[in-house]
Amino acid sequence: MKPYNFILLPMALLALTALPAAADDKPNNIPMDGKPVTESHQGKGKINSVDAKAGKINLSHGPIASLDWPGMTMDFEVTDKALLANVKPGQKIDFELVEVRKGKYSISKITAAK
C-alpha cells in the first residue's frame, strides 16, 4: 500500500457509514434538492387572551384544512414574542402556523383579519 492509502481508506469507510445515518435524520419536509422548506398553515381566529411575557396566546380558531384540524379554542406559542406587541383580546386575526417540533405548531405570523 502506498502511504496515502492509509489516509484515504479510513476516510472512505467513514463516509460510507455516515451516509445512512444522515439520511435517517432528515426531517420529512426536506425535498430531494436538499433545500429546507418551512411549510406553513393558514388559520383564522379570534383572540381570547394574550400572555405577551410568556409568548402565548389563546385563540378560538376555525378549521385548518391543511392540518386536518377542526375549529377549537386552544393556546398557542408564538415563534417571536414581538408578534404579540400589537394584539389584544377580542381581535379577529389571520395567522400562520409553522411546525417548530414534530407535531408542535407555533404561530409565526399574525395579521388583522381581512
Cα 50 from Cα 84, distance rounded (Å):
7
Per the CB < 8 A criterion, the answer to whether 74 and 101 are in contact is no
Q: Does 72 bind Cu ion (CB under 5 A)?
A: yes
Site track for Cu ion across 28-57, x = CB under 5 A: ------------------------------
| Residue (of 29, 43, 99, 40) closest to 74 by Cα position | 43
Q: State which amino acid sits at residue 111.
A: T
- Which of these segments, 21-29, 31-39, 72-80, 97-105, binds Cu ion (CB under 5 A)? 72-80
Kindly tell me which of 72 and 85 has the beta carbon lying closer to Cu ion: 72
Cell (9 digits) for 29: 419536509
- Which of these segments, 9-17, 68-76, 83-91, 103-111, binds Cu ion (CB under 5 A)? 68-76
Interaction site with Cu ion (CB under 5 A)? 72, 74
